[in-house]
Structure 1
Amino acid sequence: MTRPGATGRLARYGLGVSAGPAPVGLVGPDGLGLWDAAAQEPADPGAAEILVALSRSADPDLALRQLHRLAAAGRRAGAGGRERLLAALRDDAGLRRRLIAVLGASSALGDHLVANPGDWRAVESGPDELTPTADGALAGDLTAVPGLRRAYRRSLLRIAAADLTGGRRLEQTMAALSALADATLRAAYDVAVGELPTPAPPALAVVAMGKCGGNELNYVSDVDVIFVARSDADLTPATTVAARLIEICGQVAWQVDAALRPEGSRGPLVRTLASHAAYYRRWARTWEFQALLKARPAAGDLDLAGEWIEQLQPLVWTAAERPEAVEDVRAMRRRIIENVPPRELPREIKRGPGGLRDIEFAVQLLQLVHGRADESLREPGTLAALRALVAGGYVGRQDGEALVRGYRFLRSVEHRLQLQRLHRTHLVPQDPAALRWLAQSLGYSALPGREAVEAFRADWVAHAAEVRRLHAKLLYRPLLEAVARVPANQLRLSSTQARRRLELLGFAAPAGALKHIEALTGGVSRTAAIQRTLLPVLLAEFADAPEPDRGLLAYRQVSEKLGSTPWYLRLLRDEGPVALRLARLLGLSRYVTDLLTRDPEALRLLADDAELTPRPVAALTDGFIAAAARHLEGEPDPGAAIRAVRAQRRRELFRIACADALSTAGTLAPAAPIDVFAVGDALSAVTDATLAAALRVATVDAGAARAMPGLRFAVIGMGRLGGYEMSYPSDADVLFVYEPPPGVAEDAASGVAHAIAERLRTLLGMPAPDPPLGVDADLRPEGRQGPLVRSLAAYRAYYARWSRVWESQALLRARHVCGDADLGAEFLALADRVRYPAGGPGREQIVEIRRIKARVDAERLPRSADRAMHTKLGQGGLADVEWTVQLLQLRHGHRLPGLRTTRTLEALAAARAAGLVDRADAAALADGWTLASRVRNALTLVRGRPLDQLPRHGQELAGVVLLLDGPEAHLPSRTGGPRRWPRPGEAAVEGPGEFVDLYLRTARRCRAAIERVFYE
């Protein structure tokens, strides 16, 4: 017995924590003689070293109890067994460290040692003598089950000892366990063959699968195998041997699982080589090819096993080309999670979210897809395959390192859990004592303010979260599906083959395209490797565009500008659909390409659907003004301020154009695809913000605050800006209004106000890398002959005396854009009296509107224009609809509040609701306006410059059709629902032709409605 006070001293060695104040076996007549009860200290220096080793084990009390049991078993065995054990522990530091580590970590191996007291000598030698090959992994009598079982446990004991004391890293431990499994399979095979009544053994191969096949076996796991016979004549004896092998291994070590064979447990246990080949060619599902990634010869006829693997390898590396392959792998992973009991899911380190299966499935899917052309990826082991994926550029370095760390952590946890009782489990325990043991077995120790269990939990949560994130990132990468659709024989081509392939894809200059490809993929750099992965997919996307060569050239230009930035190729490879989105944009839109080459950093917006959502005007205005303000503080620099504003505008134009061009691309569409109305709103909001920030800069540049404090100034939006119907080529139609400070004459204030307006127009229109914004004030009173800026009183006087009907019509779209809000409200109150006059316009004014419209039709349409195909001034075009709706607003706006809106289709809907237009005519007008607006935007996106004329044929027409193609196009159809335009290859000639017919038909119906409504 220990005396009072001894417990505290023993606690320094971790003893007494779970065994009470007097640990069993420490002292007493039957004890180990390690503690001097009188002196309350270790009995001798050797005993002190043993106590220190106990303290460093996962469970010191367990280690002490098992050491005491082992010593007692040695005494019972006689011949000084107890004394030799204790002497060896005192003298051999390596033995002491290894044996006590096993005793504190595994009660099951402790039981084995107690039952076989001489087997502790198995850990006398160091880990260098532990070979990870099947030959020599077992020693002893291997001719019968009892001897084989003891030999297996001795080998397992040595592996565990090396593992627990750092003599072997995780990969080496897994390889050693796999080698031990191979040796056990071979020994069991020999026993089974030896029991056959005939001396000639059958030609039977045992193929290792799963973790054993990947050389990453854990301590307790089913060993997955497939049995292969040479011929039909071998089937009967081979089946006998296979069944007996399964029985022997179950008695010796672990269960042999042959469920990965064709047809699973319903199929025959053994098949011939030919039968296997026929099954995999015709019936095998994706998961069966996924399982074959880890196949390797293990026992029996190794040459036959190698032949079996060689026959099936070509099938493995084409499996990913099946249309359903990628989704099959994803669905299998989801089913595994669904089959975990909900109460166990948070503790599952293998099958649960963030577990080992997440890593394995991500790696295996990447292998199936990319390994078709890259043989370096054909590694059976998860870590080896992951390293190859990183080396080949398929997985980012940081992501790969995070997955390696997560895998090692989770497998180490799994090993410790299974080693304790040699019981198959993947659940982290809930019991506090068990958790403490697990943490300590993994090397965690208590620190001031933090327990070992807390440290373990923190690492577990962090690793699981990162694994889950990367699993989703890699397994659900859209690029995977796109790469899988490219046949393997097209992923790696010679120059001649590549040129022929480019010709078939529709490249007009395949030699030039080949030079671009060689420039991007040449060399052995990581950048070139990633480009080699991306380009087969991108080429297929460019081929869908009217001008594939231009798309490839633009991609090369962007790549050369961004190729040295560390994030560019990583973004294309890893971040969602960026690569496919970029290919569509570069192939179809010169407008987007021009914006991107001016601002390559904007490419990041394509990574996130939320970034493709146009921003509200308030947020835009705040951001634009803040960008300008940074250059207006201290020593103002108006030039730098306006450049910052215009750069912000360029970024927003890119955002809107990308969302517009991608919104008809199906799975590439943003979360909330935008239509032509949302595009108009977004472009108008960007223009509002640009004008607001430019007004701030112009006010500073003109020195207005010093020259005329208290001057009020406002910008009124007109035309398409006022109607929230801006298109990409639209200028900003505005009026400028000011109000002098109290007591200051208008003439004195007009110069300062004029300077502000002139500076605003100049700043936004001056040459720069960013797209200019034309500021058009021609809708002001007296047009270009009138003053650029007027006071509110001057506007009031002019409209009261001189206003003409076209000016009333122009004011229908007037709204306050920026500047003094009160002044803007006062101006709009004045405008209401002009645009919605009591009683409406007289007959002469209506005739005047119709006369002006006829003159516009005759004079403003370009001579070379095709009136039927002109989206703005043609028959049934935008101007036709807008003049018609505005006439209704002028005539009836004074009595129908619903018509008092600056938006064309809102006013049209109000007119229909009021009975001013019948349902059919309203629908024809709305269809005509919507289609013309969409086509006008699409023409600008495709051409890169303003264009109102829809061509009847050619590449620009094909580009418009492709941009308007898709489930979100909402083009008019006979049924009134959305319609889809054929892509190249579906109806290569009829698609654009059908679209032209639709446009003409829609415009004719619209024009007929206009004749009835406008000229009634």
Structure 2
Amino acid sequence: MNRPALAALTEAWQSRADWALQALDERAAEDGERAAYHAWQAPAREQLNRVLAGSDFVVEQARRLPAMLANLHGSGWLARALAAGELRAALAAQLGELGEQADDDQLGALLRNFRNAQQVRIIWRDVTRQADLAETCRDLSDLADACIDLAYHWLYPKHCAQFGTPLGRYSQQAQHLVILGMGKLGAGELNLSSDIDLIFAYPEGGETEGGRRSLDNQEFFTRLGQRLIKALDAHTVDGFVFRTDMRLRPYGSSGPLVYSFAAMEQYYQDQGRDWERYAMIKARVVGGDAVAGAHLLEQLRPFVYRRYLDFSAIEALRTMKGLIQQEVQRRGMAQNIKLGAGGIREVEFIAQAFQLIHGGRDLSLQQRPLLGVLDTLCDQGYLPDDVVSELKEAYGFLRYVEHALQAVADQQTQMLPEAPEARARIAWLMGYSDWASFYDDLAHWRERVAWHFAQVIADPDDDAPKAQAHPADEWQPLWLSGPNQDEAAALEQLRDAGFADADEAWRKLCGLQASPALRQVQRVGRERLDAFVPRLLAQISEHAQPDLALARVLPLVEAVLRRSAYLVLLTENPGALQQLVILCAASPYIAAQMARYPLLLDELLNEGRLYSPPQADELASELRQRLLRIPEEDLEQQMEALRHFKLAHSLRVAASEVAGTLPLMKVSDYLTWLAEAILREVLNLAWQQMVLRHGRPRRADGGVCDPDFIIVGYGKVGGIELGHSSDLDLVFIHGADPQAETDGERSIDGAQFFTRLGQRIIHLLTTQTTSGQLYEVDMRLRPSGASGLLVSSLAAFHKYQQLEAWTWEHQALVRARMLAGSESVATAFEAIRCEVLGQARELAALQQEVAGMRAKMRDNLGSRETAAGTADNAFSATAPFDLKHDAGGIVDIEFMVQYAVLAWSAQCPALLRFTDNIRILEELERAGLIASEDVRLLQEAYKAYRAAAHRLALQQLPGVVSGDLFHDERHGVRRIWQSLGLG
């Protein structure tokens, strides 16, 4: 946010400075003082000339108090930025000198003189370019904070001495006022002559005690609030401190001056309006009881930030902007750089639109400073880098113009002047040689802001030429007339639009009109539905299979009738609606996920991101950053964040698979990476909770665990072959001393600790919330299965695998690998795995056991009509082929790979390097244990089966195809099965 360098101090401006300096000298002489401005040395003397030429307010204050400028100069305050808290400390010191007998008038005089001196200092540093925008806004906000809070704390004991101390009815604790700063004050962004918007509240009702007569707390704080406003706002011979505006409180000027917390919460819950949500984004405790104020803001947070995507906020902001534009036109304020087109308010609206829409779910957007919000919009991918850069540059330029306008006379104005001399001064203060060159740059930035504002806030229909009808218009009569519509005409329109079964489509639409859920929807929800459905029909009519698209999207529409903000999202974003229709028509799995979890609609807003899932390290980083923004103690939010993350990324993978941008192997990779990232964070959360409660467990050497625990994945997750809706086969192992006590106050032994840790992990993974559960978890592959301990020590796991495990358990171990946890325990586990799998086996016995287990599985799980694919009719078009369980299918390939690892890894340890079937087959080929052509056949068959199974899963169909498919693959797999001596 650069601004032009200082403009030259021309003869005209020097003449103005000389005149002001002479006036100051004359005024000082009248008081018998000599400020000796002529004796100032460069650069202070040059700065003095510049400030006197630029600001009438500084000249006026220096004439009123001749020693003010000299004192500021002598103290060094003009030449340096203030440290944090320095301004407040200076005011507190002056208030401390007032004495106990001082009255409110003396308080007001002190505050005004302090404010005026600081205002002179801030203008000085702004005009001379010693302070940037951030420093100026920070100093002004700190000045307001100090004046408000210190004045309140000065008045409070005097008020209590007069009326008694207010006590809470239930807590019986002394009550304090909570002063909320709104708008630019709340955000720490005050301008040079800003008013301050305040709201007063107090925690509890009750009465005062210790006064001459008891007062209700409401009356006590009302009177105290009035005294505080007078101390800040009243105009006296010394001026004012801050113009104070209380109209943002509930019910505005017609409502009480102060509210209890309960009344505040009730008001915003029942009657809070959209513009009040917008205002509450900036709310900050600026005075009074900071602790109670934090509780109040937490109570009001759900009003501001909705848990769902709230695109209704755009319509609210659009309405507010329309009202502002009407006022601008009525009052001839087009040259207002705040409210006019392309002004400061439009930049604020852009940022706050995203905050209101996404802030309930993305906690990083729950912040007050506008520039911080813009940076977050860039970092989180809501807006492109170049857009954010342009908005920040424009905002900085506009704020510098605002400060230049206000520095002249300390007037609250954002209007560009009309008088030539006044224009010349503003241009000069901004660093330009003339008004024309300044105005060209100003017009450029306002044009850019207006353009970006239109992209975010403007009605999507506004882009269409006015003479051209919107495609949705032709569907509006059909929908709005509903069952009263001429059915023949409706059917004809549906047929003309490409519906193969127009009668069924019409029945579905009439069913939606008559649904009981719709009858319970409030008026605004009905209006949103009426705006959305014609757009939906227009979009569906462009699809190749409109009947299918309508059938799959309507359940989503019914699901969100009571949460119609989702309909606004789709109405406001035609691109998102288009993607919804495409994806739902392509996959009933995606359609069902959307209907069950409408929050996934957010993912449709960014088509590039939707079809480009991130890499493994990006996934892990994104999840970690998302959880870091949630308070550690907020388990509910953490669980929701994990679930939303999983749903969102699962959708991206499914969408990419449907679109053909992600091949099968990559689909499994991404789904597995997603599970690993989630498991790492779940382990971290569970570990933190357990350590907080019980302390850390210990290893056998006495050292503390950190965490000496691993989550091992078996089956599909272990083999990097996860599919949509796959469960997780997990085993938990620790490397601690089971008998050693933890080091916390509520200590337990290591065995108990890790058992509870395992239970906690399962709870985090499987608990049903509004966003579903993370994963189904199967722990039956642990030692001794369902009857065994939930968590095994390394030693117990080793012993079990060597002495007790069945051959099928060693087969499962082939696909086992560490997913999350301690590297040292993972290394020990891998050594056990290699030792167990790498032991020499008698091949005939192994063949018999593997073949026997496979036969049992076929009998129990294979297609009965074809004897699990072994009967003569197995290859007919009328017979089913179970891709997984029938002969020649997926499990046959998996069993052959597992048999090969158990049979040959003793002489070929390289077979133990990987856990996925494709790469194990490559090692078998490399070792010459299976012929290359057979390896290729098994790999291609395996990928073909799995690709077909994935497609069926996306269509929500079982993994069964017609028996006349995959003949070559099935024959080849059975031939190799027999060649290995397995059948």
The TM-score, its normalising length taken from structure 2, stands at 0.46
Instruction: Give me the TM-score of the superposition, normalised by structure 1.
Output: 0.45
Q: Please identify the structure whose Cα radius of gyration is greater.
A: 1
